[in-house]
Amino acid sequence: MTREQPGAPESATETETETATETATYVYAVCRRLDPAALSGLAGLAAGFPVRTLPLGPLTAVVQHVPADGFTEDAWQQRLSDRAELERCARAHHEVVTAAAACGPTVPLALATLYRGDERAQQALGADRDRFAAALARIEGHAEWGVKVSLPATVSEAPQSASPTTARNGGGPSGGAGRAYLERKRGLHQAREQHHDRALRTAEDIDAALSRLATATRRLRPHSPEMTGERHRLQVLNAAYLVRTVREKELLDAVELLRRRTGAEVEVSGPWAPYSFAGEV
């Protein structure tokens, strides 16, 4: 979706009417008709400005006025570099999207979708009205589920005792002991390759099984051990599945079966608004 910089005015007339309280229009999502009461009490991203609806013909945008000078490109860059502030914004955004999605199919927009005002938001979003309508029809009766699969990062190496030849020569492998040492190293390398291949096959098997239950799937980049904080486990699958609500129990049952069958750690989360599929609009 279009993200505009609300800073510079578009005309001299605007310059004359600007005040210190100039606002931009922040857009959370697009849905069908929505009772504004469903948004009552939501704080959103800017204190003092209500989260509200904005008509787009047969559709509705969920929006909020925000102080323009606090939501410039530079201001967002600062938020991106401040983990706590970024998390606060993401949670506030998600809370509003979730409230809208509880009332019917909802297309979430990306964090930091901004326009210079309501009129400009209506023009830009209205130009995509047909694509929004198609997306809403596609996701109706669906929810997004996230699945992450992890396995031990490496095979364990069995402890090796020193051979008599090695001990007599001060710990340095020689002769038969040297060959045995190299064979063990080759064997360990081969075992690690086989372990990696099995992990990838496990990921593909789980993804194939869950994809059969989904209307659409999206593979995301697996998180690194540095990101997960689990140095001894490797994330081999990070995927999102768009699943009909009537098949949610099938999905959860399949996840439990796959856990038992593969021995993998399978983490499932949801149901969510279809964030991973909003980019199809």
The one-digit pLDDT tens for each residue of the chain (281 residues) are 445 543 333 333 333 334 446 999 999 999 999 999 999 999 999 989 999 999 999 999 999 999 999 998 999 888 889 999 999 999 999 999 999 999 999 999 999 999 999 999 999 999 999 999 999 999 999 999 999 999 887 655 444 444 444 444 544 555 677 777 666 666 555 556 665 678 889 999 999 999 999 999 999 998 877 777 667 788 999 999 999 999 999 999 999 999 999 999 999 999 999 999 876 55
Gap between the Cα atoms of 15 and 118, Å rounded: 18
Considering the domain architecture, whether residues 196 and 133 belong to the same structural domain is answered as: no
The answer to the question of residue 2 being in a domain is no
Considering the domain architecture, whether residues 87 and 150 belong to the same structural domain is answered as: no
Considering the domain architecture, whether residues 202 and 95 belong to the same structural domain is answered as: no
- The last residue of one of the domains, among 139, 167, 198, is 139
pTM of the model: 0.76
The answer to the question of residue 204 being in a domain is yes
- The parent domain of residue 237 ranges over 142-158+190-280
- Domain containing 228 — which CATH number? 3.30.70.600
The answer to the question of residue 63 being in a domain is yes
CA distances from 270 to 43, 44, 67, 274 (A): 23, 22, 33, 10
Considering the domain architecture, whether residues 127 and 151 belong to the same structural domain is answered as: no
- Give the per-residue pLDDT at 108: 96
DSSP code, position 102: T
The answer to the question of residue 166 being in a domain is no
140 phi and psi angles, rounded to 5 deg: -60, 135
Considering the domain architecture, whether residues 125 and 244 belong to the same structural domain is answered as: no
The answer to the question of residue 3 being in a domain is no
- Give the per-residue pLDDT at 157: 46
Considering the domain architecture, whether residues 146 and 239 belong to the same structural domain is answered as: yes
Segments of 7-50 assigned E as strands: 23-31
> Which stretches of the chain are DSSP H helices?
12-17, 73-81, 83-101, 118-127, 129-139, 164-168, 175-211, 225-228, 248-262
> Roughly what angle, to the nearest 10 degrees, separates helices 73-81 and 83-101?
110
Considering the domain architecture, whether residues 123 and 150 belong to the same structural domain is answered as: no
Give which of 236, 87, 62 is closest to 147, Cα–Cα.
236
Contact 238, 224 (CB under 8 A): no
Considering the domain architecture, whether residues 16 and 66 belong to the same structural domain is answered as: yes
Residue whose tokens read 């000078």:
69
Considering the domain architecture, whether residues 42 and 134 belong to the same structural domain is answered as: yes
- Give the per-residue pLDDT at 8: 34
- H helix or E strand, kind and range, residue 52: strand 51-56
Considering the domain architecture, whether residues 85 and 152 belong to the same structural domain is answered as: no
Considering the domain architecture, whether residues 31 and 117 belong to the same structural domain is answered as: yes
- Give the per-residue pLDDT at 198: 82
Please give the distance of CA 108 from its chain centroid, rounded to a whole number. 12
Please give the distance of CA 67 from its chain centroid, rounded to a whole number. 27
Residue whose tokens read 């983990």:
83
For 49-59, b/e burial (b = at least 16 CB within 10 A) is bebbbbebeeb
Number of domains the chain contains = 2
Considering the domain architecture, whether residues 149 and 97 belong to the same structural domain is answered as: no
The answer to the question of residue 268 being in a domain is yes
- Give the per-residue pLDDT at 181: 66
